[in-house]
């Protein structure tokens, strides 16, 4: 990637005391100041990295259980790059579902990323197109949340894009490496450990702490009920039906705190808590 | 295997389009309609709950026999509501599950 001339100058903003003065020294044709902003982003998301690595391990192990070659694990993590949908695809295909059902289920689950993309639109607005393409590719639940929360501290768009690259790039890297490790180590993990438990546990850990609004609680309850009621549907269609029913029915329930400004329901800020 | 590769690839292209949607279609003064925003905000809880129900309470389409999975998940949900923290929830769930397996459940 070729840095803009503006990048090499470190951008006009020097309000952040942590940032070093721009220096002519450069690594890989990227200035020192840019790496500093990148590193600040990586530090901001570092607390969430162990979870990403462990989740990656579990998804990689599932690839292995499905009997597929190990490289599919990191391939899926580097391209789809959204764990819940990858698990849904593995589940659907191992239950013998047609490809189209696996794809639709994955895209429904990933529709939430459209909300993050909308939240990030003003944050990315001043970036060149190639940066928008790159940073959108690296967008995850966690990195979108950190980016939206901290964007205000980076008023200069050049420094901000390096910061967000530092948030989302290494986080996705850890995720890919974790999946690769899981896919390779999969056969080594004893089956008595029942590593499959990480799947519900991971989603409980992400979902339950963030359950605050009535519609979100209702969506959860409706979804669980439909998944169980329709458990005899083939191909994991009960998961798709449960998710769609939860989204559709719960969206008619009014938010109690509708009048208040502040955080919109389900926004990345809320997910991050 | 080929099917899985194709499915992952198509899902990746579709997911990238979703990731690009807001960044390129919105921005400036254009915003999502409130109804759409609300529906999208419910995708995460509804989809995650569906996966939890399917992987925890069912096992390949049949009811999972009551045991360590249910009990450890209850511990995790309790800690999640109490601490409101992803890290604490994961740690509590793993420790509870390991203890229950060691206890022979």
Domain extent at residue B24: 1-31
Average pLDDT of the residues in A228-251: 91
Q: Report pLDDT for A189.
A: 74
At residue A30, does pLDDT exceed 80? no
B39 found inside a domain = no
Residue B25 covered by a domain: yes
Q: Does the structure show a pLDDT above 80 at A259?
A: no
Over residues A168-218, the pLDDT tens digits come to: 999 999 999 999 999 998 777 777 788 788 889 988 988 898 888 999 999
Nearest to B80 by CA among A198, A207, A269: A207
How far does the CA of residue B63 sit from the closest CA of chain A (Å)? 9
**DSSP per position, A220-231:** HHHHHHHHHHTT
Whole-angstrom CA distances from A264 to A12, A114, A213, A268, B53 are 32, 14, 10, 9, 26
Mean pLDDT across B16-38: 84
pLDDT of residue A26: 52
pLDDT computed for residue B28 by the predictor: 61
* Phi–psi pair at A30, nearest 5 degrees: -120, 130
Confidence label for A146 from pLDDT (cuts 50, 70 and 90):
confident
Q: Which two tokens stand for residue B69?
A: 């999975």
Q: Which of B6, B33, B41 to mutate to test the interface with A (most CBs of A within 10 A)?
A: B41
Structurally, chain B folds into a number of domains equal to 1
| Residue B24: inside a domain | yes
Asked whether residue B26 is domain-assigned, the answer is yes
Q: Across the interface, do B49 and A122 touch by the CB < 8 Å criterion?
A: no
Q: Cβ separation of A106 and B14 shorter than 8 Å?
A: yes
pLDDT at B93 over 90: yes
Give tens-digit pLDDT for B52-78.
999 999 987 889 999 999 999 999 999
Contact B56 A116 (CB under 8 A): no
Q: Is residue B56 one of the residues assigned to a domain?
A: no
pLDDT, residue A72, reads 95
């Amino acid at each position: 990637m070729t840095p803009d001339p503006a990048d090499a100058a470190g951008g006009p903003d020097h309000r952040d005391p942590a940032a070093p003065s721009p220096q002519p020294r450069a690594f890989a044709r990227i200035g020192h100041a840019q790496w500093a902003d990148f590193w600040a982003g990586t530090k901001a998301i570092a607390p969430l990295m162990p979870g990403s690595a462990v989740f990656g391990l579990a998804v990689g192990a599932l690839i292995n259980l499905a009997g597929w070659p190990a490289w599919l694990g990191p391939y899926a993590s580097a391209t789809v790059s959204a764990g819940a949908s990858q698990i849904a695809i593995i589940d659907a295909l191992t239950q013998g579902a047609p490809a189209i059902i696996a794809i639709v289920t994955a895209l429904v689950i990933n529709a939430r990323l459209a909300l993050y993309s909308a939240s990030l639109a003003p944050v990315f607005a001043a970036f060149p197109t190639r940066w928008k393409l790159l940073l959108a590719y690296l967008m995850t639940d966690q990195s979108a949340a950190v980016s939206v929360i901290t964007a205000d501290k980076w008023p200069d768009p050049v420094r901000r894009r390096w910061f967000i690259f530092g948030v989302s790039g290494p986080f996705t890297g850890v995720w890919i490496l974790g999946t690769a490790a899981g896919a390779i180590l999969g056969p080594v993990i004893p089956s008595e450990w029942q590593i499959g438990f990480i799947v519900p546990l991971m989603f409980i850990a992400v979902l339950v702490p963030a359950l605050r609004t009535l519609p979100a609680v209702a969506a959860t309850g409706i979804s669980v009920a439909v998944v169980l009621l329709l458990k005899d549907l083939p191909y994991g269609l009960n998961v798709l039906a449960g998710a769609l029913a939860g989204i559709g029915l719960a969206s008619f329930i009014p938010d109690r705190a509708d009048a208040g400004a502040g955080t919109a329901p389900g926004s990345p800020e809320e997910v991050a808590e | 295997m080929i099917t899985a590769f194709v499915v992952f690839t198509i899902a990746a292209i579709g997911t990238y389009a979703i990731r690009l949607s807001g960044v390129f279609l919105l921005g400036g003064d254009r915003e999502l309609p409130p109804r759409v925003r609300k529906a999208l905000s419910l995708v995460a809880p509804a989809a995650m709950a569906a996966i939890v129900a399917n992987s925890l309470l069912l096992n390949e389409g049949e009811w999972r026999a009551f045991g360590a999975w249910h009990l450890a998940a209850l511990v995790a949900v309790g800690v999640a509501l109490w601490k409101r923290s992803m890290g604490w929830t994961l740690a509590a769930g793993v420790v509870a599950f390991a203890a229950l397996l060691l206890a022979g459940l």
